[in-house]
Amino acid sequence: MTIRVLVVDDSAVVRQIFERELARDPEIEVVGTAPDPYIARDKIVNLKPDVVTLDVEMPRMDGLTFLRKLMQYYPLPVIVVSSLTPKGGELALEALGAGAVEIMCKPGAAYAVGDMSVELIDKIKAAARVRVRPGAGLGLQAEARPQTRTLALARTTNKVVAIGASTGGTQALQGLLSALPANSPGILIVQHMPENFTRSFAERLNQFCEIEVKEAADGDTVAPGRALIAPGNYHMLLRRSGAMYHVQVKPGPLVSRHRPSVDVMFKSVARYAGKNAVGVILTGMGADGADGLKEMRAAGASTIAQDEASCVVFGMPKEAIARGAAGTVLPLGGIARAVLDLCS
């Protein structure tokens, strides 16, 4: 079945690039383009696209305002396309909270068109599978914070929690991390997200959480009460020096079609933390993380996959379950408590 796409962007160049690149995939049809939200509104009603790509910085009406109206009156999957400016990054993150399913960077001098087209096609195919609820974004409410055995957790300083996510993961991570107490075990996170967006994402999460959330820097210590998010376009690996864990952040080739890759992180955790780790794979398209989670389980770690009903896209968890990598399958709302129980 062909996925019908409407491209909304005030740049004629971007519209042309998207049309040309998407035409290369037989499963995708660009049914129309629009230079602003007013024209887009009429084309959505008339053309009934399955997925919309939306610029967030446009004249007449900004993309964020349009997105909120769209989610209220005509909800459908939206991929936000943003520049790498600080303003563009902030708007893109707000758009995720308003109901967008994915974000990606505009093509430009620092962003190869070839890489962009592969990513865009993947995101469109993932977005087409998303069930968008009328009148609300895809954001999930934070879980109720579990009553935890804080003294036991405080004594268990050598536990590491590794979490991987992709499509729908930004909202899932907010719900999961905001449910954790300040003395939670050290956490490593790979969320598929473009370069320069992960710092803003970490800063935003930090506002909602009792734990510290930050974009990882090479050499950062993995410690209780801290979550480190892999920077966009860099792999993040766990390393150990004596009794202390730290991260290595480095460039490298794409792994499982991603950088950062969940597989890269999980495999390093399997090697250096072994049975002292808990691995969690959340919503997302594709198979990144499935093999790494299996290695973690083989090394003695406890492993959890998000269940289908609570996933935005049941791709990564499905692959992990199929390969025997998941020791437990849980709804998103039960993962925080399970992680704390396993670590205590």
Choose, from 82, 166, 178, 261, the residue flagged as catalytic: 166
Tell me, yes or no, if 220 is annotated catalytic: no
How far apart, in whole angstroms, are the C-alpha atoms of residue 207 and residue 244?
27
Tell me, yes or no, if 235 is annotated catalytic: no
Tell me, yes or no, if 246 is annotated catalytic: no
What are the beta bridge partners of residue 6? 32, 52
Q: Where are the alpha helices (DSSP H) in the chain?
A: 12-22, 37-47, 63-73, 86-98, 113-127, 150-155, 169-177, 198-208, 262-272, 290-298, 316-322, 332-343
Contact 232, 254 (CB under 8 A): no
Choose, from 220, 288, 291, 307, the residue flagged as catalytic: 288
Q: Which residues of 16-41 are buried (b: 16+ CB within 10 A; e: fewer)?
A: ebbeebbeebeebebbbbbbbbeebb
Choose, from 9, 50, 117, 192, the residue flagged as catalytic: 192
Contact 103, 92 (CB under 8 A): yes
Encoding tokens for residue 335? 């993962």
The residues annotated with a catalytic role in the active site are: 166, 192, 288
